[in-house]
Amino acid sequence: MLNSFVEDETEDNLSDQEEYIFCRQCHNMITTPAERIEVRGSHRHTFANPHGIVFEIGCFRTVKGCGHAGPVSTDFSWFSGFSWRIAVCIKCLTHLGWLFASPDQGHFHGLILDRLITQ
Protein backbone atom coordinates (compact mmCIF):
# COMPACT_ATOMS: atom_id res chain seq x y z
CA MET A 1 0.00 0.00 0.00
CA LEU A 2 1.34 3.45 -0.87
CA ASN A 3 1.92 6.07 1.77
CA SER A 4 -0.58 8.81 0.92
CA PHE A 5 0.55 11.14 3.70
CA VAL A 6 3.87 12.16 2.10
CA GLU A 7 3.90 15.73 0.80
CA ASP A 8 3.96 16.30 -2.95
CA GLU A 9 7.29 18.03 -3.48
CA THR A 10 7.76 18.71 -7.18
CA GLU A 11 10.69 20.75 -8.38
CA ASP A 12 8.46 23.85 -8.72
CA ASN A 13 8.11 24.37 -4.97
CA LEU A 14 11.60 23.53 -3.68
CA SER A 15 14.41 25.84 -2.61
CA ASP A 16 16.82 26.90 -5.36
CA GLN A 17 19.74 26.63 -2.95
CA GLU A 18 19.78 22.86 -2.52
CA GLU A 19 20.31 20.02 -4.97
CA TYR A 20 17.58 17.38 -5.17
CA ILE A 21 17.04 13.99 -6.77
CA PHE A 22 13.79 13.67 -8.76
CA CYS A 23 11.80 10.93 -10.48
CA ARG A 24 12.81 11.12 -14.15
CA GLN A 25 9.23 10.38 -15.24
CA CYS A 26 7.22 13.03 -13.34
CA HIS A 27 9.84 15.22 -11.58
CA ASN A 28 8.55 14.45 -8.09
CA MET A 29 11.25 15.05 -5.45
CA ILE A 30 12.51 11.68 -4.22
CA THR A 31 15.53 12.46 -2.00
CA THR A 32 18.71 14.54 -1.80
CA PRO A 33 22.36 13.77 -2.55
CA ALA A 34 23.04 14.13 1.19
CA GLU A 35 21.10 10.88 1.73
CA ARG A 36 23.55 8.80 -0.35
CA ILE A 37 25.17 6.03 1.68
CA GLU A 38 27.58 3.17 1.14
CA VAL A 39 26.33 -0.37 1.64
CA ARG A 40 28.87 -3.17 1.54
CA GLY A 41 31.58 -0.65 0.63
CA SER A 42 29.88 1.21 -2.24
CA HIS A 43 27.04 3.61 -3.01
CA ARG A 44 26.53 2.10 -6.50
CA HIS A 45 25.84 -1.54 -7.22
CA THR A 46 24.98 -3.44 -10.41
CA PHE A 47 22.76 -6.52 -10.14
CA ALA A 48 20.62 -8.72 -12.38
CA ASN A 49 17.25 -10.08 -11.32
CA PRO A 50 16.24 -13.73 -11.96
CA HIS A 51 14.90 -12.69 -15.40
CA GLY A 52 18.30 -11.33 -16.43
CA ILE A 53 17.30 -7.64 -16.24
CA VAL A 54 20.29 -5.61 -15.08
CA PHE A 55 19.87 -2.66 -12.70
CA GLU A 56 22.41 -0.11 -11.52
CA ILE A 57 21.23 1.09 -8.13
CA GLY A 58 22.37 3.72 -5.67
CA CYS A 59 21.87 3.31 -1.92
CA PHE A 60 20.05 6.02 0.05
CA ARG A 61 19.38 6.38 3.78
CA THR A 62 16.07 8.24 3.50
CA VAL A 63 13.68 8.87 0.62
CA LYS A 64 10.61 11.09 0.96
CA GLY A 65 9.12 10.55 -2.48
CA CYS A 66 8.71 6.77 -2.52
CA GLY A 67 5.90 4.52 -1.45
CA HIS A 68 6.11 0.75 -1.21
CA ALA A 69 4.13 -1.89 -3.05
CA GLY A 70 3.76 -5.63 -2.82
CA PRO A 71 4.76 -8.06 -0.12
CA VAL A 72 8.08 -8.17 1.71
CA SER A 73 10.32 -10.89 0.26
CA THR A 74 13.67 -12.49 0.98
CA ASP A 75 13.75 -14.34 -2.37
CA PHE A 76 16.76 -13.45 -4.53
CA SER A 77 17.81 -10.58 -2.24
CA TRP A 78 20.90 -8.80 -3.53
CA PHE A 79 21.98 -8.02 0.03
CA SER A 80 22.41 -11.05 2.29
CA GLY A 81 20.34 -10.79 5.46
CA PHE A 82 17.99 -8.16 3.98
CA SER A 83 14.42 -8.56 2.82
CA TRP A 84 13.14 -6.29 0.04
CA ARG A 85 9.98 -4.57 -1.08
CA ILE A 86 9.29 -2.63 -4.29
CA ALA A 87 9.66 1.17 -4.07
CA VAL A 88 7.61 3.38 -6.40
CA CYS A 89 7.28 7.12 -6.97
CA ILE A 90 4.32 8.33 -4.91
CA LYS A 91 3.23 10.68 -7.68
CA CYS A 92 3.39 8.60 -10.89
CA LEU A 93 3.91 5.06 -9.49
CA THR A 94 7.04 4.44 -11.59
CA HIS A 95 9.10 1.57 -10.17
CA LEU A 96 12.15 3.36 -8.71
CA GLY A 97 13.82 0.54 -6.80
CA TRP A 98 13.51 -1.36 -3.54
CA LEU A 99 13.41 -0.89 0.20
CA PHE A 100 15.89 -3.28 1.83
CA ALA A 101 15.39 -4.06 5.52
CA SER A 102 17.15 -6.22 8.09
CA PRO A 103 16.21 -6.77 11.73
CA ASP A 104 19.88 -6.41 12.69
CA GLN A 105 21.19 -3.87 10.16
CA GLY A 106 18.36 -1.37 9.68
CA HIS A 107 17.02 -0.34 6.29
CA PHE A 108 17.93 1.61 3.15
CA HIS A 109 16.58 2.20 -0.34
CA GLY A 110 18.29 0.90 -3.46
CA LEU A 111 17.10 3.23 -6.24
CA ILE A 112 17.51 2.59 -9.97
CA LEU A 113 19.86 5.37 -11.04
CA ASP A 114 18.66 5.79 -14.63
CA ARG A 115 15.13 6.46 -13.34
CA LEU A 116 16.33 9.50 -11.38
CA ILE A 117 17.62 12.96 -12.26
CA THR A 118 19.63 15.34 -10.07
CA GLN A 119 19.08 19.09 -10.28
Q: Where are the domains of the chain?
A: 11-118
Per residue in 17-46, pLDDT (tens digit) is: 689 999 999 999 999 999 999 999 999 999
Superfamily of domain 11-118: Peptide methionine sulfoxide reductase. (2.170.150.20)
Per residue in 67-103, pLDDT (tens digit) is: 999 999 999 999 999 999 999 999 999 999 999 999 9
Report the 10 Å Cβ neighbour count for 6. 15
pLDDT tier, 11 (very low <50, low <70, confident <90, very high otherwise)? very low
